[in-house]
């Protein structure tokens, strides 16, 4: 079974430029998460989707960040314009309602963003 | 809100046993996870506890005490490849089962 796929793996941009990250969750996983992980810290949830609906986006800085999950499968996270403080690893994860006990989240390899 | 505390760094010797502690405060506890994360890689699931007690899985065990808001991850027969960050995460049933992660404990295994 293929895992969570993310691209690009690395991105370097200048501040004020836009950037987009793409995520393809595990097939059949209805829940998709975007996390931001700063160096030496744990992941912090940005937004959670149940199918195509964003059910928790309270931590998403809506002035510059946006996300979408059209058709309830792939998702895109966008930052426009990027700031120096946005440098981090952006992780995508997915989980399935079929795994009812744990709702274990499976993580992708992440996109390491560097804003210069 | 939630508050999750775990040590920032630990060092142990190959072949030894190490215990990584995690304390938490949450209003709607609905499970605790331990993830392993090697540098530059994705977190991978290690264990899950929702009831008090010890869950054993090979060289790794995880313990939970809900009354004390406390968990630990026990790693036995340490190997060099166990050098990684270990993330404690608590699920909040009052917040849509959202996972909140601690800052992670970076474990260095030395020969």
Question: B24-79, pLDDT tens digit by residue?
Answer: 998 889 999 999 999 989 999 999 999 999 999 899 999 999 999 999 999 999 99
**What DSSP assignment string belongs to chain A?**
----EEE-SEEEE-TT--EEEEEE--TT--EEEEEEE-TTS--EEEEEEETTEEEE-TTS-TTTEEEE-GGGS-EEEEESS--GGG-EEEEEEEE-TTSTTT---EE---EEEEE-
Closest partner CB to B96 (pick from A56, A101, A105): A56
Average pLDDT of the segment spanning A94-106 = 76
pLDDT at B27: 84
With an 8 Å Cβ cutoff, are B98 and A91 in contact?
A: no
Contacts of B47 in chain A (CB under 8 A): none
Distance from CA of A94 to the nearest CA of B (A): 12
């Amino acid at each position: 079974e293929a895992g969570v796929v993310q691209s690009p793996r690395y991105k370097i941009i200048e501040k004020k430029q836009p950037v987009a990250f793409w995520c393809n969750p595990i097939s059949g996983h209805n829940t998709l998460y975007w996390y931001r992980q700063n160096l030496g810290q744990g992941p912090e949830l940005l937004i959670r989707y149940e199918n195509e609906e964003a059910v928790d986006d309270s931590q998403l800085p809506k002035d510059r960040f946006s996300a979408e999950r059209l058709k309830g499968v792939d998702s895109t996270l966008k930052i426009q314009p990027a700031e120096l403080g946005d440098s981090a690893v952006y992780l995508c994860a997915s989980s399935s309602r079929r795994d009812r006990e744990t709702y274990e989240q499976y993580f992708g390899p992440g996109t390491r963003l560097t804003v210069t | 809100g939630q508050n999750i505390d775990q040590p920032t760094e630990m060092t142990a010797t190959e072949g030894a046993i190490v215990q990584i502690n995690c304390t938490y405060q949450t209003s709607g506890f609905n499970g605790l996870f331990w993830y392993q994360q090697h540098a530059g890689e994705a977190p991978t699931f290690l264990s899950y506890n929702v009831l008090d007690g010890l869950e054993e899985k090979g060289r790794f065990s995880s313990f939970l005490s809900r009354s004390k808001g406390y968990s630990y991850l026990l790693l036995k027969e340490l190997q060099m490849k166990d050098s990684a960050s270990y993330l404690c995460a608590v699920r909040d049933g009052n917040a849509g089962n959202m996972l909140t992660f601690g800052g992670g404990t970076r474990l260095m295994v030395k020969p």
